[in-house]
Chains A and B, each alone.
Chain A
Amino acid sequence: MKTIGLISANYGSTEFGELLQNRTLASLPYGGRYRLIDFALSNMANAGITTVGVIAPVNSGSLLDHIGVGNPWSLGRKRGGLFVMPGSVYGMQKSGSRFLMRDLLKCERLFYKDDADFVIMSGSTDVWNIDFEPLIKAHAESGKSVTMVYKKVARGEEFRGYFLDINENGDVVGINNESFGWSNYFADCFIINRSYAMDFLNWYSALEYKDMIEIMQENLGTINIGSFEFRGYLGKIKNPWEFLKVNQAMTDYDIRNEVFCNPERMIYTKAQDEAPVFHYQNCDVRNSVISAGCVIEGRVENSIIFRSCHIAKDAVVRNSVIMMHGTIGEGAVLDNVIADKYVTINPGVKIYGGEREPVIIGKNATI
């Protein structure tokens, strides 16, 4: 069954301060060498999807620089390929919204032009590695108009977003952004029949200020919605603390193997061709993820170091994320810190963040 993809990157968050000053959440660097949107793009590429639309936000510079014409995801093609569609200004203002009608109406072209049976619509900021093929199969067999992907979460887990009430037949009978004790967390991803999507946009075009999920919520009785459970790791990033936590998840053996080292479904990203990491004679690296091009002379613990960073001797980096081209001077100490690209920490400077409130150091800063 032919399926195309549509990824929404037109949403942000106000909780990241300087980290999102000049970029959208979808292009936030993650995990040493990735950007968050790599997961949505790779999940689609790994399911053999060769036509993908991306709804770009107004401040799309860093996103476009990263995805280019989509070559890493085999989307630089003659038939199909990557379609970048400008989203509305509204996207960055309406908090929590992923699938704005206003944006979707603008990319109707993608739906009309193609002859695919289904469209997978996905957010762009979750860290996960999902096999879409069983989802497509289950949806095709179910005869539903829409199938929503969810993950069961434990009560009390700090998830924000939509929760689903699912009956014994697997039908979605309730959607709410309060959990109401429901444990089915909507993974910002669903599959929809292409013809139904076109009808939906037509019927509700007057509600362009709303989110597609909101409209589904209000019209549950008339829409035939099924559900599909995702049992793997789902890393949600909605604030700096979660960002730090989901980065550190890469040091977990099971998560690393499931998300990043599955030879059947690799996570692709733009290659930069950096040299191997040089571990110096007196360095000390523990439980950390280090990317190519780094030179490590000091100590690194429970941290994620992006490409081409230099950790000088006697420096200590602990429980931190240092993005590309960071320079940590001799004897400096960083604990619970998120340093953006091209940050320079002078020798001897010590910065301690709180466990749930990491210190954020903006791009190009020298401290």
Chain B
Amino acid sequence: MKKKKMLAMLLAGGQGSRLYDLTTSIAKPAVSFGGKYRIIDFGLSNCVNSGIDTVGILVQYKPLVLNRYVGTGESWDMAVADGGVHILPPYASSTGGEWYEGTADAIYHNIDFIDMYSPENVLILSGDHIYKMNYNLMLNEHEANNSDLTVSVIEVPWEEASRFGIMTADEQGNIVKFTEKPAEPDSNLASMGIYIFKWDTLRRALLEDHENKESSHDFGKDLIPKLLGEGKKLSVYRFSGYWRDVGTVQSYYDSQMDLMDDVDSINVFSGDMKVFSNSNVYPPQYIGREANIKNSLVCNGCTVYGSVSHSILGSGAVVGFGTVIEDSIVLPNAIIGRNCKIRKAIINEGAVVDDNTEIGDPENGVVVFGQTKLSI
């Protein structure tokens, strides 16, 4: 087997509790995004677009939809003989079973998996960010600097810096300090939660961290400070471009509205760094005689009889006669009856909205309607 230059480990086990009803029955990376995608599509597509063909996906919270969705990885051209996608749930061993207790702990439990491929470098990704990035450019810098760890960072406005994990770097790009949500930040370089480690460095650090009873086994809180303390070479990789964490209902809503309001943000229309997805085969959308659609994204399988403006209709969604939808996101397979009024709302996947229902109020915050209905 050819030795891998870099293998990716994608952290997809979190619940995403701040997305409330959107994640009561599915993991955050499996939540629908932009009508036909799921959040994990962005990370997986970045991998394939960067030539990475081996990805471990660490799952824990409600993984059923995610497992089914990822399947063999064929949709991302990852059904390859020597690699491919691997779903990695917590497992039992002769000493009993353990849950993943933190981001680093999840990787610790899969050291044997990574050793099977014995890569030179390991890329750690979060399964809940929306961005397009070529990880190869980051790997090139990582190798040119001969770094033990390279952290991808993005410049954020100074006034917002205290909401992020902030990296302080010297002029050569060497990390000198890491502070989680600093009250008085001395840098505006926020960590994007994307790390490239030399595998031998990471392997040893994980083993030591596991023995440390004080550690919370988290990359940001424990691993990076540990390596900094040991005087390892840590560098930043400056990324510029669109990058959003969609951890809250508001940020989830805003970044989807960006698809229409700022087409260049995360250009899903561009063939360059294409975003792949594993969507069902739906017929093309049908737009009825009295329908009226303005400034909206509409997916395959939709049937629209009503009025839709500044909204996203997910695959297979139905909008009945006389219904008005404004500034809203209708997730896949939701059925909206006749004469409804839906404003500034998110209608959950597969939810049914009865005729004459009013949901949402433009004067208030975004509301989420219905529970995710699991279906194929």
Interface residues, chain A, with chain B CB atoms under 8 Å away:
31-33, 71-72, 250-251, 256, 260-261, 266-269, 271, 273, 275-293, 295, 300, 304-305, 307
A290 touches B285 (CB 8 A): yes
- Residue ID in chain A nearest B314 by CB atoms: A276
A to B CB contacts below 8 Å, 26 in the list: A32-B283, A71-B74, A251-B286, A256-B286, A256-B303, A261-B283, A269-B281, A273-B275, A273-B276, A275-B36, A276-B36, A276-B313, A278-B269, A279-B296, A281-B295, A283-B293, A286-B287, A289-B283, A289-B284, A289-B285, A289-B286, A290-B284, A290-B285, A290-B287, A290-B298, A292-B300
How far is it, in angstroms, between the C-alpha of A102 and the C-alpha of B316 when the chains are bound?
A: 44
Whether the Cβ atoms of B284 and A285 lie closer than 8 Å is: no
Contacts of A72 in B (CB 8 A): 281
Asked if B34 is at the interface of the complex by the 8 Å CB criterion, the answer is: yes
What is the interface of chain B mostly: helix, strand, loop, or mixed?
loop
Which residues of B are in contact with A by a Cβ distance under 8 Å?
34-36, 74-75, 260, 263, 268-269, 274-277, 279-281, 283-289, 291-301, 303, 308, 312-313
| Neighbouring B residues of A278 by C-beta, 8 Å | 260, 263, 269, 296-297
Check A260–B283 contact: CB distance below 8 A.
yes
When the two chains form the complex, which single residue of A279, A283, A287 contacts B289, counting CB atoms closer than 8 Å? A287
Which chain A residue lies CB-closest to B304? A285
**Across the interface, do A295 and B269 meet the contact criterion of CB distance under 8 Å?**
yes
- List the 4 closest A-B pairs by CB distance, nearest first: A32-B284, A260-B283, A291-B284, A276-B297
Indicate if the CB atoms of B300 and A291 lie closer than 8 Å.
yes
B289 / chain A contacts, CB cutoff of 8 Å: 286-287
Q: How far is the CA of A32 from the CA of B282 in the complex (A)?
A: 11
| Residue in A71, A251, A277, A283 whose Cβ sees the most chain B Cβ within 10 Å | A277
Identify 14 new A-B residue pairs, CB closer than 8 A, beyond the known A275-B297, A279-B295, A279-B296: A31-B284, A266-B280, A271-B75, A273-B275, A276-B299, A277-B285, A278-B263, A279-B294, A285-B291, A286-B288, A289-B284, A290-B298, A292-B36, A300-B287
Q: Please give me the residue from chain B that is nearest to A71 by CB atom.
A: B74
- Residues of A contacting B293 with CB < 8 Å? 279, 283, 285
B288 touches A276 (CB 8 A): no
Distance between Cα atoms of A71 and B288 in the complex (Å): 33
Residue of A250, A276, A282, A304 touching B34 (CB-CB under 8 A): A276
Which A residues are CB-close (under 8 A) to B298? Answer: 276-277, 279, 290
Chain B residue nearest to A300 (CB atoms) is B287
In the complex, A277→B36 CA distance in Å?
11
Closest partner residue, chain A, to B293 (CB atom) = A279
Q: Among A256, A276, A305, point to the contact of B283 (Cβ < 8 A).
A: A256
Q: Are A276 and B284 in contact (CB under 8 A)?
A: no
A228 to chain B, nearest CB (A): 27
Q: B297: which A residues are within 8 A, CB to CB?
A: 275-279
Contacts of B295 in A (CB 8 A): 279-281
B284 in contact with A292 (CB, 8 Å): yes
User: How far does the Cβ of B262 sit from chain A's closest Cβ, in whole Å?
Assistant: 13
A293 CA to B279 CA, complexed, in Å: 14
CA distance A285 to B288 in the complex (A): 8
Supposing A279-B296, A283-B293 touch, asked if A293 and B269 sit within 8 A by C-beta, the answer is yes
Residues of A within 8 A of B299 (CB): 276-277, 292
Given contacts A276-B35, A279-B298, A292-B36, contact A287 B287 (CB under 8 A): yes
Determine the residue in chain B with the shortest Cβ distance to A251: B286
Q: How far is it, in angstroms, between the C-alpha of A291 and the C-alpha of B35 when the chains are bound?
A: 14
- From B263, B274, B294, B301, give the contact of A273 (CB < 8 A): B274
Contacts of B301 in A (CB 8 A): 261
Is B279 in contact with A286, judged by CB distance below 8 angstroms? no
Alpha-carbon gap, A291 to B315, bound state (A) = 12
Closest to B277 in A: A273
Please, how many angstroms separate the alpha-carbon atoms of A291 and B301 in the complex?
Answer: 9
Nearest neighbor of A278 in chain B, beta-carbon distance: B297
State A242–B312 Cα separation when bound (angstroms): 35
Q: How far is the CA of A284 from the CA of B292 in the complex (A)?
A: 7
For the complex, give the distance between the alpha carbons of A78 and B248 in Å. Answer: 45
Across-interface contacts of A284 in B (CB, < 8 A)? 292
* Distance of B33 from chain A, by nearest CB (Å): 11
B267 to chain A, nearest CB (A): 9
List A contacts of B36 (CB < 8 A). 275-276, 292
Within 8 Å CB of A256, what residues of B? 283, 286, 303
Bound CA–CA A251/B292 (angstroms): 16
A271 and B281: CB pair below 8 A?
A: yes
Find the B residue at minimum CB distance from A252.
B286
